[in-house]
Structure 1
Amino acid sequence: MTTLRAFLALLLFIATLGLAGFMGYAYVTGEFRAKGPLAEERTVVIPPGSGVDAIAQTLAQEGIIAEPLVFKIGVRLSKTGRQLKAGEYQFEPGVSPAQVMDLLVAGAVVQRRFTVAEGLTTATILDIIRGVEGLKGPITLAPAEGALLPETYNFQKGDTRDSVIRRMERAMTETLDRLWEGRAEGLPISTKEQALILASVVEKETGVATERPMVAGVFINRLRKGMPLQSDPTVIYGLSEGTGLLGRGLTRKDLGKEHPWNTYRIGGLPATPICNPGTDAIAAVLHPADTDALYFVADGTGGHAFARTLDEHNRNVRAWRKVQKSQPSRQ
């Protein structure tokens, strides 16, 4: 009888443990999928190298989850502990611990972005990168003029400024390589570097996207004939010591100054790119318009008037000067 009582007591103890375990499991799984305490949208950074315990504590401190233990047990039952990824996450109000886990497993981090416009100098782009919120670290790289591809770049909070610059350099290299492979035949430029230099000049000469192939065609024609490019932006670049900003209009004296970027004084291309050209400007140089034009001048509408002969060009210049005189003077 004593043995039977002991056996029955053991069964009861086991049953009690099983019931308690089942109830505990049901509680944890229920809480794991239940609405969380977050009342309004919040962004939280999970530091690199954080384990499940540290992640649970961070989430609890930020008010994303109520019970770190529930999150830890839920993650371990799901066997996803090694799959949780660091980064910046945006959480919606009421997000459950299970949903939090899914976001961290998916690595659904906040995507930040910044945009670099075509035609900016490298110095200007580096200033932009220095001011981008969310990037970290100083800039230790010194990219060459024309080495950075202008476009919109996504990044994660905590990415270094140097890493973004390297991405921009790779993007320019890959773009130039791709476009160079499909270039038109018979161009008077023999290297990718020359294509980049001419593209930078085209980029600075016109802000009208549809004009780029025509402007490129004029410069290609001048190179073929051995004529100087006579591009004002190249002169400005040299006089401004690479900033591209002169702060005044060009004078005849400026056009006569000797420097490696003065395409009124030198033959062929300037010494280096004068800005960072976009994809369309590079494509325009490698597929220029089929034109006989050798000259262009502003036409007063934001675009340019193109001419085949010097006489025609001079008429266009006189028309442009009339437009200038008719415009209100700027004090």
Structure 2
Amino acid sequence: MSVDNYGNHPNLEEERRKKAENFRLNIPDRDNYDDYNYMDDYDDETSELNSYSGEDVRQQIERQSRHALKKQKRAEKKELRAKNKHNRRIFRLVWLFSVIIVGAMAAVFIITGVNDLLAINRTSSDTVKVKVPKDPTVDQISDLLKYNGVIDEPLYFKMFATLTKSSDDFSQGTYELRKNMDYQAIITNLEGSASRTDTVSVTIIEGQNVLEIANTLYDEGALEDKDKFLELCNSDQFDDDFSFIKAIDNKADRYYKLEGYLYPDKYDFYLNEEPESVIYKFLNNYESKMNEKQEFSGYDKTYTINQMIEESGTSYSLDEIMRIASIIQAEAADKDDMYYISSILHNRLSADESMGVSNLGLDSTKYYPYRSAVDIPSNVGSDYVSKYETYDKAGLPAGSICNPGMDAIKAAILPKETDYYFFCHDKDGQAYYATTLYGHNQNLEKISNDDE
């Protein structure tokens, strides 16, 4: 067939006509749908495009993708709402169950704690000894009480002690406690000393000085810190409580301000007692003794020490009497000798300088605060000279040289009336008195010959 005849072929014309009729979009009319989102129910298989336009196909695909994405998101939101609703139900159940459990536990804790606080279930009246360490914490106290069967709920006790501000008031010691005590009774006993059983009896001998007393207390277990004790003995800490201490006005000249006022007696102390508490016991006892009515030789009535000082007409103050008494205590061989030595001291202190005996010249003052030369510490030095020394220094030393007993104090107030100015003792304690230096030297020679 020739080319010229191709366009006039009847079959070709028919084929072109059919193709032209089929070249259209097979899209339904929108006016037949009530909702703009008519594509939601549209069947993808019937929406194919019979078009050769690439742009139209792309737009159609995008619309279908957006529709699918929206549909997926709505489904996810619906699923999430359902899941959240389920989770809220589970949370409410768990929360309710937790509240019930916690409430039940709290109720049990409160009931058992209150019962223990009031000792309702602890009916035994048995006693136990609880040993509290030094500087105890409330945790240690709670554990000790639990271990010894005094309480059942250490946590509740710790809370109670903290709330009542008692957790810092416990101190070292051995305490006797009953198992049926309530918390307040337990704390009261632990804060006080009435139930302590770790006591020790210490006897302070007449004539001991502060250093010797500190050593005795330490050796007997009544004192743990000697340095603190000695420091307090030269402090002003007790002035406000004791007028006789406050009256001392030459502290700077003294070795120990409280020397002479630690009254020798038998004391009951607690093991490792605080130094301040120990000193208070000494000073309280001294004050009590000074206020007791005493019998004095030559007097029908009884007097306190201060009353007798006033009654005797002496010009010496209480502190000066205590200094004289401390020398008498250190020098006298016995009670009777005390009154003669007191006479000699008074005579020398009031003697005219022309007599050459204004200095007391006493060995007992030479090494104070040490007893003798052998007691002087090596770090002090061999050339040590006490500022209380009475060979070169006139008058009384600045303070007492020991702590005298009542007999020495009485003798200091009321000496015998003699004209003696000298005294000495032999190895057996026999006393020799003399009015003159010549007589004193004769006594010394006699003692020396007897010793041979």
- 8 Å contact kept, 1:202–1:212: yes
- 8 Å contact kept, 1:211–1:303: no
- Equivalence for 2:401: 274
- Equivalence for 2:206: 118
- 8 Å contact kept, 1:136–1:159: yes
- Equivalence for 1:206: 332
Map 1:251-290 to 2 at 5 A: 260-290=387-417
- 8 Å contact kept, 2:151–2:179: no
- 8 Å contact kept, 1:200–1:274: yes
- 2:196 partner letter: V
- 8 Å contact kept, 2:260–2:401: no
- Equivalence for 2:144: 58
- 8 Å contact kept, 2:150–2:178: no
1:141 aligns with 2:228: no
- Deviation sequence 1:136-188 (CA, Å, 0-9, x none): 5661424225254133332334631133234434544665675233125243x
1:243 aligns with 2:370: yes
- Equivalence for 2:279: 165
Map 1:172-187 to 2 at 5 A: 172=286, 175=289, 178-183=304-309, 185-187=312-314
- Deviation sequence 1:190-227 (CA, Å, 0-9, x none): 22222122112112112424422222122122223343
- Equivalence for 2:116: none
Instruction: Report the Cα offset of residue 104 of structure 1.
Output: 5.1
Match for residue 424 of structure 2 among 283, 297, 300:
297
Instruction: Report the Cα offset of residue 234 of structure 1.
Output: 1.8
- 1:156 partner letter: Y
* DSSP 3-state at the match of 2:201: strand
- Equivalence for 2:365: 234
- Equivalence for 2:434: 307
- Structure 1 unaligned spans of 5+: 1-27, 73-81, 249-256, 326-331
C-alpha RMSD of the superposition:
4.6
Bigger relative contact order (CA 8 A; separation at least 6):
1
- 8 Å contact kept, 1:199–1:277: yes
- Equivalence for 2:316: 190
* TM-score (ref. length: structure 1): 0.60
Largest Rg, 1 or 2: 2
Q: Alpha carbons of 1:182 and 1:66: their partners in 2 closer, same or farther (altered >3 Å)?
A: closer
- Deviation sequence 1:262-311 (CA, Å, 0-9, x none): 43334322233222333332222012234343322113322312334545
1:290 and 1:225 map into 2 onto residues whose CA distance is 14
* TM-score (ref. length: structure 2): 0.46
- 2:397 partner letter: P
- Equivalence for 1:153: 267
Give identity over the alignment, percent.
Answer: 21
- 2:131 partner letter: V
- 8 Å contact kept, 2:130–2:144: no
- Structure 2 unaligned spans of 5+: 1-118, 157-165, 235-255, 292-303, 376-383
- 8 Å contact kept, 1:148–1:171: no
- 2:361 partner letter: Q
- 8 Å contact kept, 2:260–2:323: no
Instruction: Report the Cα offset of residue 319 of structure 1.
Output: 1.9
1:260 and 1:267 map into 2 onto residues whose CA distance is 11
* DSSP 3-state at the match of 2:123: helix
Q: Alpha carbons of 1:271 and 1:115: their partners in 2 closer, same or farther (altered >3 Å)?
A: same
Q: Alpha carbons of 1:97 and 1:322: their partners in 2 closer, same or farther (altered >3 Å)?
A: same
2:222 and 2:146 map into 1 onto residues whose CA distance is 23
- 8 Å contact kept, 1:213–1:284: yes
Q: Which sits farther off after the overlay, 99-108 or 220-229?
A: 99-108
- Equivalence for 2:88: none
Q: Alpha carbons of 1:285 and 1:99: their partners in 2 closer, same or farther (altered >3 Å)?
A: same
1:109 aligns with 2:196: yes
- 1:109 partner letter: R
Q: Alpha carbons of 1:112 and 1:283: their partners in 2 closer, same or farther (altered >3 Å)?
A: same
Q: Alpha carbons of 1:261 and 1:155: their partners in 2 closer, same or farther (altered >3 Å)?
A: closer
2:126 and 2:215 map into 1 onto residues whose CA distance is 44
